[in-house]
Amino acid sequence: MPQFWRDVQLAPSYTYARAITRSYARSFFFASRFLPEEKRWATWALYGFCRYADNLIDLQRTRGPEELLSELGCLSKEISLAYRTGESEHPVIKSFIDTARRYQIPERYPLELIKGVEMDATFKGYKSYDDLHLFAWRVAGVVGLMMTCLLGYRDESAFPYAEKLGIAMQLTNILRDIQEDKQLGRIYLPADELHRFGVAPEDILSERMTPQLRALMEFQVQRAHVCYAEAEPGIALLDRESRFSIYTASRLYQEILKKIELAGYNPFAGRAFVPTKHKLAILLQEYARRR
């Protein structure tokens, strides 16, 4: 395959996407470096688009909800135009559309992701896990589907597993970022589950670590572990050259859950992360396991 990421017209956009991935997704970037070079650059282009869309809402900005929705609407239109014409001068979409067409990523997937970001723009909490699951599917499950297109697969049975892995990673992000999100007034944990465990929204907003909140966090962490376990058989359905990177990414994200467990399930004890030395140890463990 030609080195498309070095094409004079595309290189600035691919390089920008790589920088975005390295800055915002250190564990994902670490794991992606063990992909073949062409899939590595394609993965960064995909992540660059996803992160750009997320940042329209996640970063603190002075625009109101209607203005943000208008901006997301423009992004959807640009994606559709790029799919139709095969090109875009948007600095992120330029490399994404090249990757999407090269690896036959369906247009509906990035459009679903934007719908998920729109859910954040009008965020008022989620009543049930079904509501949260829809959000997680849109912002992460479809990322798993897009990744499967570019990673390669033996047959289409790989796709449901990829959705599950994406959702598991999103649930992990939600549990890791509870303190950060509550500062933006967002509580992603389902309202009915807060009620069932006896946790008031004010407990989270005021950072009150109660026995009830600990029990709720343990329940959420175990749910995420189950999602990872259910997703793992699908990694073996990917192209052989892609599997090691995805096994490693899955392990790294599960380590975040273990960090939360070691903190006594306290979401206010500091942002859970995996140190570089620990990442290298996981890398060696996975290498030994997968030989």
pLDDT given for residue 46 in this prediction: 98
CATH class of the 1-122 domain in this structure = mainly alpha
pLDDT given for residue 79 in this prediction: 98
CA distance 237 to 12: 33
CA distance 57 to 65: 9
The owner of tokens 């979401």 is: 267
**What is the sign of the dihedral through the CA atoms of 263, 266, 271 and 273?**
positive
Q: Where are the domains of the chain?
A: 1-122, 123-291
pLDDT given for residue 219 in this prediction: 98
pLDDT given for residue 266 in this prediction: 97
Both structure tokens of 40: 């590595």
Q: Where are the beta strands (DSSP E) in 145-281?
A: none
What Cα–Cα distance (Å) separates residue 252 from each residue in 74, 162, 271, 286, 287? Answer: 35, 16, 15, 10, 14
pTM of the full structure: 0.94
pLDDT given for residue 277 in this prediction: 83
Decide: 45 and 51 in contact? Cβ < 8 Å.
Answer: no
pLDDT given for residue 273 in this prediction: 84
Query: Beta-carbon neighbour count of residue 229 at 10 Å?
Result: 12
- The hierarchical CATH code for the domain 123-291 is 1.10.600.10
pLDDT given for residue 291 in this prediction: 61
Flag residues of the chain having pLDDT under 70.
Answer: 1, 287, 290-291
CA distance 198 to 7: 57
